[in-house]
Chain A
Amino acid sequence: MSARDNILSKLRAGLEGTTPRPDQFDEELVTQPWQYAPEDRIERLRSLMEAVHTEVHTLAAANWPAKVQELLENRRLANLLYAPGTGHGQQLAEFWAEADAEQNLLAYDRPIEEWKEELFWQVDASITGTAGAIAATGSLVLWPDRHEPRLMSLLPPLHIALLKASEIEDNLYTMMEKQNWSAGLPTNLLLVSGPSKTADIEQVLAYGAHGPKELVVLILEDA
């Protein structure tokens, strides 16, 4: 018998004569304490994210490309990784061309194998969209796909994320239900709640352990 058969038959023998327990999931427990008035959601998100070293800006939707440029300028960064196949990527590229911006835009348009070294060591910042955010825990939902690959939010020292104010949900449960996650997930769904950190030495918090050292969230008010 294979290991699989052995394990399964041992487990089945252990359950002989028993019936599976019914599902009594009490959704109130995971939703009710985590509900916010619409006007409080942004504040809750902001305060939780700021508490873990995230920079949060709320701005009118049209102004974000200029804000991105300003963020790069202030930090004197030379380049920005972006996703050319997304709506916001195109918007950014248009702004960049018009503004004649100094910083280089790097399009993530090739498989990682072709430019691994460069992505690892020479990219200063990246910008991605989000699939919303969760107020209860201060988390962004990232839904990487072919246009916006997984490593964009991981490799560069600065990650800038765009978040629509209207896409902030109260809690993880509501988010899952609303976006119907159980019907189909991407190959790698991520919740991101701040820049990379560790407290492995004497429990002293240090940021930028392996992933981004800085996370900036631009909350876009859809007026």
Chain B
Amino acid sequence: MNQRIPVTELTSSFRGRATEALADGQLRNNFRVAMDSLMQKRADAFPDEQEREGLRELGNHIKARALSRLPDLLEQLEAKLTENGVHVHWAETTEEANRIVHAIIESKQGSQVVKGKSMVSEEMEMNDYLADRDIECLESDMGEYIVQLDGEKPSHIIMPAIHKNRRQVSQLFHSKLGVEATEDVNELIQIGRRTLRKKFLEADVGVSGVNFAIAETGTLLLVENEGNGRMSTTVPPVHVAVTGIEKVVGNLRDVVPLLSLLTRSALGQPITTYVNMISGPRKADELDGPEEVHLVLLDNGRSGAFADAQLRQTLNCIRCGACMNHCPVYTRVGGHTYGEVYPGPIGKIVTPHMVGLDHVPDHPSASSLCGACGEVCPVKIPIPELLQRLRQENVKSPDEPAVVQGGGAKYSWKERALWRMWMALNTRPTLYKCFLWAATRLGKLTPKNLGPWTENHTAPVPAPRSLHDLAKAHLNAGQNRGEQP
């Protein structure tokens, strides 16, 4: 099966999608090549281990400090931005955030939106929401543009079209844009440039994400290489930024280490081509820039994660993507398998808070717990530890209060009863002996099908005699020969 599988046609469960992805040789190859190169680039970007570890420590400290006074910082950010002339909005749900964005566009009678890369807008499914209301929302990041053109979702948070090769992009442009097919990457990018430039010119509103929101100065910081982010935030008369509430940091200088960690971990670059720091709309005497700037602060489950001191650490994430690049599961199945906005290790720890564990019950277990994600995370999020925690939340009894929404989704009374029995057997010697006697004598009756275990293994059959018996017999035989025990 060498055909691309559109995300919409995939089997609905993680397991099903993983099986299909694993059978797709082209997809596996595209990911393997890309991830190997990203891993190498990151390694080259941090040649000095001591510097890297010091910086990760500082990154963790800055985020933890910001979270320890998050509500105050959000208020400070709001006050500063307002002082700078930026309108600040708050949304608890994605529906609410979409409504806010839509109202802003409507107030300008806008019909065309260009969007810089923003994972939060993916979270909101903003494109669909606006399309339903006759507003065209065009992705302007090349990778995002490519996946949007093909009716797909991004498969990586930094490189959205990483699952495609140039031949696939060439065919896509040829069929959708009517241009001549070419496998020259430069040529393909120039086709994208020409098409999108027209859109930047015409757009009524530009939408962007935010990498860091700085409370001290009321500044929205965005990193990018292409310039589409600058276009979207500068050319249209209105700029709307959408961001999660966890993106705020205290001081301007805090972004110095975070920026370095982000760009080096993500793509191995010392810095991105553009670091765009927006502190307000166009002033009365300025000749360009948007007349209005809005910021939408989105919760969408983040305050739920925040309530638990351990799970709060998921909010440290600076969305660099390094954990997925290094994940043995992600690199084999690719981003679409996860079926959610955030794939890979980071997705497995933040998605449950957004959509509920019951929607993604397989996510916490789709990990080998090899620890690579935690080791590369630039802000030191203990991802494996959080995965284990979510596994526990997953099997909690419905009688216990759920810490994560949808918690207890994998609770099974059968499994619980089995473990109870196992505990009883192992804590009562007589019972244990009886069990052992029966198991060794009746081993042949073990069923051939033991659920997932027998998918890849033969069913274990208890030995005819237990180790205890064998040891006892061995010792007895020795004594009979007059040996010292």
**Interface residues in chain A, defined as those with a beta carbon under 8 Å from any beta carbon in chain B:** 2-4, 6-8, 10-15, 18-27, 29-30, 33, 48, 52, 108-112, 116-117, 120, 136-139, 144-146, 149-151, 154, 171-173, 176-177, 181-182, 184-204, 206, 208-212
Identity of the chain A residue whose Cβ is nearest the Cβ of B189 in the assembled complex = A206
List 10 contacting pairs A-B, 8 Å CB cutoff, sorted by A: A10-B304, A30-B256, A117-B201, A137-B271, A154-B230, A191-B271, A192-B273, A200-B159, A208-B193, A210-B196
Inter-chain contact B253/A14, CB cutoff 8 Å: no
Inter-chain contact A196/B226, CB cutoff 8 Å: yes
Identity of the chain B residue whose Cβ is nearest the Cβ of A204 in the assembled complex = B185
Interface string of B284-300 (1 = CB under 8 A from A): 01111100000001010
Identity of the chain B residue whose Cβ is nearest the Cβ of A27 in the assembled complex = B253
Inter-chain contact A211/B299, CB cutoff 8 Å: no
Asked if B276 is at the interface (CB within 8 A of a chain A CB), the reply is yes
- A201: which B residues are within 8 A, CB to CB? 142-143, 146, 161, 164, 166, 169, 185, 188-189
Inter-chain contact A29/B55, CB cutoff 8 Å: yes
Complex Cα distance, B165 from A10, in Å, reads: 45
Query: Does more than half of chain B's interface fall in helix, strand or loop, or is it mixed?
Result: helix
Complex Cα distance, B70 from A212, in Å, reads: 38
Inter-chain contact B160/A200, CB cutoff 8 Å: yes
Asked if B355 is at the interface (CB within 8 A of a chain A CB), the reply is no
Inter-chain contact B228/A172, CB cutoff 8 Å: no
Complex Cα distance, B98 from A103, in Å, reads: 48
Asked if A151 meets B58 with Cβ closer than 8 Å, knowing A14-B306, A210-B193, the reply is no
| In-complex Cβ contact of B286 among A11, A48, A139, A187 (8 A) | A187
Complex Cα distance, B65 from A22, in Å, reads: 7
B284: min CB distance to chain A, Å:
9
Inter-chain contact A7/B92, CB cutoff 8 Å: yes
Asked if A188 meets B278 with Cβ closer than 8 Å, knowing A195-B273, A201-B161, A209-B142, the reply is yes
Which B residues between 26 and 67 are near A, CB-CB below 8 angstroms? 30, 33-34, 37-38, 48, 51, 54-55, 58, 61-62, 64-65
Inter-chain contact B55/A188, CB cutoff 8 Å: no
- B253: which A residues are within 8 A, CB to CB? 25, 27, 173, 176-177, 182
Q: Which among A2, A48, A137, A196 has the greatest number of chain B C-beta atoms within 10 A? A: A196
Inter-chain contact A206/B186, CB cutoff 8 Å: yes
- A187: which B residues are within 8 A, CB to CB? 84, 278-283, 286, 289
- A27: which B residues are within 8 A, CB to CB? 253
Q: A25-B251, A136-B270, A182-B217 are known contacts; what are 4 more A-B pairs with Cβ within 8 Å?
A: A10-B303, A151-B234, A193-B272, A206-B188
Inter-chain contact A209/B226, CB cutoff 8 Å: yes
